[in-house]
Amino acid sequence: MSSFKALVVDKVDGNPEMSIQTLTTDQLTSGDVLIKVHYSSVNYKDAMIAVNGQFAEKFPMVPGIDLAGEVVESVNEDFQPGDQVLATSYYIGTRNFGGFSEYAKIPAEWLVPLPEGLTLRESMILGTAGFTAALSIDKLEQNGLRPDDGKVLVAGASGGVGSISVNMLSDIGYHVEASTGHMEEVQYLKSIGAKRVIHRDEVTDEEDKPIRKRQWIAAIDPIGGKTTQYILSSLDYGGYVATCGLVGGVEVKTTVLPFISRNIQWIGVDSVKFPMEGRKKIWDRLATDLKPSKLSRDIATEITLNELPDTLKEILKGQIRGRFIVNFIKDSDEETE
């Protein structure tokens, strides 16, 4: 290839501006594997980078913390031309040019061979959101959670992590309750597995109460802030919460009471630098027992590179549901079920 298209964010008079530009491989940041990108997923963090100029270590930057595609060139013996691979997080789209590009150079140590049981498209419907959801469930189960233990709350259920968590948990036998700020999405959430849907205000702690009525044995919490406070105060005895996001804020006000009187566990989930050995195991689960049943049909929306800037702005406004993926191979023969 002589040139290709990418979404580039640069600072103009101190403010981030997005544009679709023509690049060459010489302009890509360093990496020992050159990948023809087939799909990239769209995440809240990408919007923070592209619209607000946050998280990026330098400009100009090609955002896109997730990508999946085919190896074109490699100086690492672990990867050969034609291999199908995916990559999520690390410094992709923040320090190294990321997935919102028809080609990307990625360090080999950040790459995961595409697991059997997933297509490249499916891997990006999942992306960091699916990986985070699966990692949260895996951590909860490692700490002892089982489907018969009781109800599980998924906060922020209309979003990427939330939607996939609802579907995964329901598929493997959990009674799932979902909270959302978008009550127009009640039927959507029930269609992917939620037994009950409540407004996010019902799980927002405005009173700073450390203890409330017991409601859930566990929760997946991509929100943080006052939502985390409410969950901690509402877990049943021996309950667990896996916190994996901060869209609702980073400050949490609580006391030791729920921990020592109800024996609860607060579990932190990091998807950015999670070790590769464990990362591959989670992706294997995403291709098998944790592969969501509604993955292609209900959760995903495809867009083009030209539609990406508007989508990134909509994410920050909370105006989208489920997962959005950028399709770079519209004219190819790859399955797009």
pLDDT digits (tens, 9 = 90+) for 31-75: 999 999 999 999 999 999 999 999 999 999 999 999 999 999 999
On average, the pLDDT of the chain sits at 94
Percentage of the chain beyond pLDDT 90 is 91
Number of structural domains (the chain) is 2
| Residues 146 and 18 reside in one and the same domain | no
Once rounded to an integer, what is the mean pLDDT over residues 208-224?
97
Q: Is residue 134 located within the same domain as residue 110?
A: no
Identify whether 280 is part of a domain. no
Residues 104 and 205 in one domain: no
144 and 255 inside one domain: yes
pLDDT digits (tens, 9 = 90+) for 15-35: 999 999 999 999 999 999 999
Residue 142 has which token pair?
């490692």
One domain, residues 160 and 263: yes
Q: Is 273 a member of any domain? A: no
What distance lies between CA 118 and its chain's CA centroid? 17
CATH of the domain at 92: 3.90.180.10
Question: How confident is residue 1, by pLDDT bands cut at 50, 70 and 90?
Answer: low
CA atoms within 13 A on the CB side of 45: 28
pLDDT score for 168? 97
Domain-embedded: residue 48: yes
Q: Is the predicted pLDDT of residue 5 greater than 60, yes or no?
A: yes
Do 168 and 98 have their domain in common? no
Q: Are residues 135 and 107 in the same domain?
A: no
285 pLDDT band (50/70/90 cuts)? Answer: very high
Residues 151 and 243 in one domain: yes
Q: How confident is the model over 92-97, as a mean pLDDT?
A: 97
147-176: average pLDDT: 96
Q: Residue 93: which pLDDT band, with cuts at 50, 70 and 90?
A: very high
Which tokens go with 300? Answer: 């995903």
Domain-located, residue 121? no
Asked if 252 and 305 sit in the same domain, the reply is no
CATH number at residue 181: 3.40.50.720
- Whether 192 is in a domain gets the answer yes
Are residues 158 and 74 part of one domain? no
Is position 36 within any domain? Answer: yes
| pLDDT 10s digits, 236-280 | 999 999 999 998 999 999 999 999 999 999 999 999 999 999 999
As a residue count, the chain comes to 337
177 and 206 housed in the same domain: yes
| 190 and 105 together in one domain | no
Among residues 142, 140, 163, 139, the alpha carbon closest in space to that of 150 is found at 140
Q: Which domain holds residue 139?
A: 129-268
Tokens matching residue 177: 């309750």
